Amino acid sequence: MSEDLFAPLSIRETTVRNRVMVSPMCQYSCDEDGLATDWHETHLGSRATGGAGIVMTEATAIEPRGRISPNDLGIWSDDHADALAPIAEFAKDRGATPAIQLAHAGRKASKTPPWDGSEPLQPDEGGWETLAPSAKPYPFEDATPPRTRKMTRNDIDGLKEDFVAAAERARDAGFEIAEVHAAHGYLLHEFLSPVTNQRDDEYGGDFEGRTRLVREITEEVRGVWPDDKPVFVRVSATDWLPDRESWTVEDTAELAPLLAEVGADLVDVSAGGIHPDQQIPSSGPNYQVPYAERVSENTDALVGAVGGITEPKQADALIRNDRADLAIVGREHLRDPYFTLHAAEELDAGDRVEWPIQYRRAVGK
C-alpha cells in the first residue's frame, strides 16, 4: 500500500517526520551583509512549529555576488553559519528536519527586492557585475553597459570551492539536508540551458558539457555532506520556451539518474525562470507535478513535486498515488505557517502530529 502525507520518510539514515516540505522562499530581509536576522528565525521557526517535515531556508548565497538582492541570505563566512545555527537547532527541537538551499543567482543577481521592483542594481547603487556561462545579461540580453561577465575557468573552479565551503559550514551549523539550487534561471540552470550557455569549452556545447558543472558540484557537495544525511537538487524541468532550442523535460529526465549517480537523493522538480519570454502553460493546482512524474520514471532517486499545492487532500493524494515522494509547499506556507497541523485535522490524522504543548488547549488536547 502506498504511503500517505503523514508517513515518515527515511532517506539514508535521516528520518523526516512527514512528507511536507516548506519550499525555499527568499525573504529579502537581511541587512546588507547576508546574515540571518530575527525575521528568518521567526519565519522558519514558526513553520517548524507548524508541523512541516522539512523546513528549508531560502536560496542562501555561497558567495556575495550570488545574491539576488543585497538583502539575501548568505553562507560565505563562519559568521553567516553562526547566525544560521540557532535556526537549524530550533527546527530540530520542534521535530522538523532543517534544510538549506545553497545558491548562486548568476546573471539574475544584483537586483532590488521585489517590493522595489526587482530592478537591476548598478554598481553606484550598491550593485555588482554578475556572472554567467556567457556574457548575456538578464532580462535584457543586449543591455548596455553590459552587467554580466562570462565566467572564466578560474571563476568556475572558485565557484566549486565556494559551494563546497558553504556546504561544510551548513553541515557544521546543524543543517541535515543540503539542496543544490539548479533551477529558476539562476547560475547552475544557466549552465544547463542552451538559451544561456553558449560556451565552447567543456562546460558548454552538448548535453554532457552543459550538465558538467551541476554534476560536479552535486558530487563535491555530496563529498563533504555526511553519509547519513540527504542531498537534494532543485531543477527547472523545462525552460517553458517551446519555440526555441532550450532545456526540456526530456533533458531533465536524462539528467536525474546522472545526479543520483553522483549522490543526489532527491530531485526537487520545479520549472521555468531562464528567460522573460517563457510561456507558462498553467499555474493552477499541481501545475508542475507531471514534470516530477516524468523525472521519476527515469530515476531511482526520490522526487519532490512543487507548484500549486495548497490543499491537504491534494498533497495527501500526491503521496498516496505515488505521484511524488515529497509534497513541497511554497506560498500556502506564507498564508499558513501551520499548514501541516491544519492538514492533520482536515485529514483526520490529528494523532499523527504533535501540536506544541504550549498550544494544546487550543485544540482540545
Which residue's C-beta sits nearest to ligand FMN?
330
Is 151 or 327 the residue whose CB approaches ligand FMN more closely? 327
Is 104 or 355 the residue whose CB approaches ligand FMN more closely? 104
Is 46 or 149 the residue whose CB approaches ligand FMN more closely? 46
Q: Which of 186, 203, 291, 338 is catalytic?
A: 186
Phi-psi label, residue 24: left if phi above 0, alpha if psi -120 to 50, beta otherwise: beta
Instruction: Give me the residue label for grid cell 556575495.
Output: 64
Beta-bridge partners for 304 = 268, 326
Nearest 5°: the CA angle 305, 306, 312 is 90
Least distance to ligand FMN from the beta carbon of 179, Å? Answer: 8
Is 171 or 333 the residue whose CB approaches ligand FMN more closely? 333
Least distance to ligand FMN from the beta carbon of 309, Å? Answer: 5
Least distance to ligand FMN from the beta carbon of 146, Å? Answer: 26
Is 318 or 355 the residue whose CB approaches ligand FMN more closely? 318
Report the half-sphere exposure of 200 (CA within 13 A, side-chain side): 0
Give the whole-angstrom CA distance, residue 174 versus residue 152.
33
Question: Where do contacts with ligand FMN occur on this chain (CB under 6 A)?
Answer: 23-26, 58-59, 101, 181, 183-184, 234, 270, 306-309, 329-332
Give the whole-angstrom CA distance, residue 267 versus residue 234.
6
Distances in Å between the Cα of 182 and the Cα atoms of 208, 220, 271, 338, 349 are 16, 15, 10, 28, 35
| Residues 6 or more apart in contact with residue 358 via CB below 8 angstroms | none
Q: Say whether 359 is catalytic.
A: no
Least distance to ligand FMN from the beta carbon of 184, Å? Answer: 6
Least distance to ligand FMN from the beta carbon of 41, Å? Answer: 17
C-alpha cell at 131: 556572472
Least distance to ligand FMN from the beta carbon of 275, Å? Answer: 17
Give the whole-angstrom CA distance, residue 320 versus residue 41.
33
Is 18 or 23 the residue whose CB approaches ligand FMN more closely? 23
Helix and strand element counts for the chain (H, E): 10, 12
Q: Are strands 14-16 and 9-11 parallel, antiparallel or unpaired?
A: antiparallel
Burial class (CB in 10 A: 0-12, 13-18, 19+), 287: middle
Beta-bridge partners for 16 = 9
Q: Which of the residues are catalytic?
A: 186
